[in-house]
Amino acid sequence: MKITKTEIPGLLIIEPKIFGDSRGCFFELFNQKSYQENDLKTNYIQDNVSYSSKNAVRGLHYQLSPFAQAKLVQVLHGKVLDVAVDLRENSPTYGQHYAIELSAENKLQFYIPRGFAHGLSVLSDHCVFYYKCDNFYNHEAERGINFNDPELGIDWKIPVDQAIVSPKDEVLPSFKEAEKNFFFKED
Ligand SMILES: Cc1cn([C@H]2C[C@H](O)[C@@H](COP(=O)(O)OP(=O)(O)O[C@H]3O[C@H](C)C(=O)[C@H](O)[C@H]3O)O2)c(=O)[nH]c1=O
């Protein structure tokens, strides 16, 4: 596997080793031993899958400490723009975001440590999104930031007026409003 750091400390792009042949290809989506040997020591305890249509936007979501989640995300079918926003109060990149195209074609994985808001927009007709979490879902600790917050200035690569958003996400607060309740301390 190849691990690439990003300009936001902690966010990593992981390229699994792909074994191609006349039938197609094979790759290990996760292997505790080889990931730990590469200093990816996160202990995942919950796997999630979401199916989405083109122009769907999920997020930006996070869970308050001590229920914050690190995530290892991957697209199994289709293509998304995946976005992580740094909410770690002592981080030099606090409030900054990183966006990356993840697809069944590029087979890239994106590692997002605890302390980030996470969201995605669907660029293909359909998308199967799979991710591992290192903490359980906790509805009471769930918070969010409006994906279209002009202060974040995220280009979701879709026509925002055609975005398909859940009623819950429609009314998420701005970064500045949500900031009043951040509880991310460096673990
Ligand atoms: C996240 C989650 C949700 N649910 C239930 C709660 C709702 O009744 C239903 C749909 O949840 P939601 O609309 O929050 O699903 P997404 O919008 O895909 O949420 C995710 O979106 C962004 C991209 C994330 O990174 C988070 O993992 C997560 O917040 O599934 C569960 O039962 N377990 C879970 O872990």
User: What ipTM was estimated for this complex?
Assistant: 0.98
pLDDT at 180: 86
Atom of ligand 1 nearest to the CA of 69: 27
Residue of 35, 44, 61, 137 with catalytic role: 61
**Helices in the chain by DSSP H: which ranges?**
32-37, 167-170, 175-179
Dist CA 67 CA 139 (whole Å): 10
C-alpha of residue 114 to centroid of ligand 1, in Å: 16
By DSSP bridging, strand 116-122 and strand 57-63 are antiparallel
Give the model's confidence band at 181: pLDDT under 50 very low, under 70 low, under 90 confident, else very high.
Answer: confident
Active site residue 35: no
Look up residue 26 and give its amino acid. F
Indicate the pairing of strand 46-53 with strand 19-21: unpaired
The average pLDDT across 132-152 equals 97
Q: Which domains does the chain have, with CATH numbers?
A: 2-17+27-181 (2.60.120.10)
Is 131 an active-site residue? yes
Please report the sign of the dihedral spanned by the C-alpha atoms of residue 3, residue 8, residue 55, residue 132: positive
Instruction: Provide, rounded to the nearest whole percent, the portion of the chain with pLDDT above 70.
Output: 97
Phi/psi at 162 (nearest 5 deg)? -110, 5
- State the closest ligand 1 atom to the C-alpha of 61, by its place in the atom list counted from 1: 29
Distant-in-sequence, close-in-space partners of 94: CB < 8 Å, separation ≥ 6: 86, 87, 88
Neighbours of 39 (CB within 10 A): 8
The 3-state DSSP class for residue 41 equals coil
In tens, the pLDDT along 70-119 reads 999 999 999 999 999 999 988 999 999 999 999 999 999 999 999 999 99
H/E segment holding residue 76 = strand 71-77
Question: What is the rounded distance in angstroms from the CA atom of residue 34 to the CA atom of residue 39?
Answer: 9
Query: Shortest CA distance to 39 belongs to which of 13, 84, 3?
Result: 3
Q: Which atom of ligand 1 is nearest to the CA of 142?
A: 29
Cα-only R_g, the chain: 16
